[in-house]
Chains A and B, each alone.
Chain A
């Protein structure tokens, strides 16, 4: 299926968020995720099914004021 990852269309085979993150190269990374604008806590990623067209945000620590 095709999903948007941080604004870019990507094709993923995984059906849930945890598997998609691993497939996209985010395994072990310190990140927080949101699907279609809603925060998905780390413990709930395996149970979060993805659908074609979903918008995934993957955020990580960054410099800030």
Chain B
């Protein structure tokens, strides 16, 4: 079974909670997905609306483990402060660490990411860094104390799938024992299946489910894809070849010319 910071997780599908059409659809989608880990965030609360209080009671009723993020942070200080605030509000040492470096691609600022990871790991946080597929950055994050890595498949919300197959395969091969979760860029269940087939441990999906025409149905589709992809990985996929190889035995073929 997958283990994230010593926490056993049965479902290899982690789900984001943003951009669902309604809280009811979110709750149904979570159930359909089978996800046991949900990402959440922190935003300014209005004493009048108390939107955050309402959202939090919905999430608590779902009974899932929460993974708070530092979305929207562009500096180490912002990310570290947000992590401190998230730890207090959500009562967890888990933090999905995002330090955004560039607006158009929401590409992580990997230098800031490593620095923030070092600070937070030293303070006892269990850090899930949103990173690129860069091997050296991965090494630095592990050296900083991270024990899970979350490389992007493609820019957040783009739905492009696994953009750099070579880089992702190299990352998987390089760190066979580190839980690797593809975070961001997955658009359809086949992308998720592909990630699991390659041996990635899990995927984190949000927009692909919440922005589907029928998010609940899509959540169930992703659950099946993730499960199929992982089974395929365990089964050991064949090696691709450039030339055809007959699948039907040629021995004993009739001569009918």
The finding on whether chains A and B are genuine partners in a shared complex, rather than unrelated, reads: yes
A-to-B contact residues, CB < 8 Å: 6-7, 24-26, 29-34, 37-39, 41-42, 57-65
21 A-B residue pairings within 8 Å (CB atoms): A26-B47, A29-B50, A30-B89, A32-B42, A32-B84, A32-B86, A32-B89, A57-B44, A58-B45, A59-B89, A60-B42, A60-B45, A60-B52, A61-B41, A61-B53, A61-B59, A64-B16, A64-B39, A64-B40, A65-B156, A65-B157
| CB neighbours of B47 from chain A (8 A) | 24-26, 29, 58
CB atoms of A59 and B42 under 8 A apart: yes
- Cα A16 to Cα B17 in complex, Å, equals 35
Question: Is B53's CB under 8 angstroms from A30's CB?
Answer: yes
Q: Which of B73-119 contact A (CB under 8 A)?
A: 77, 81, 84-86, 88-90
A65 engages B68 (CB within 8 Å)? no
Chain B residues whose C-beta falls within 8 Å of the C-beta of A65 in the assembled complex: 16-19, 39, 41, 69, 71, 156-157, 204, 206-207
Question: Which residues of A lie under 8 Å from residue B81 when comparing CB positions?
Answer: 34, 37-39
Does B5 interact with chain A (Cβ within 8 Å)? no
A-B contacts counted at CB < 8 A amount to: 111
Apart from A60-B51, A64-B17: 15 A-B pairs, beta carbons within 8 A: A30-B56, A31-B45, A31-B89, A32-B85, A32-B89, A59-B89, A60-B45, A60-B56, A61-B40, A61-B42, A62-B43, A63-B18, A64-B69, A65-B71, A65-B156
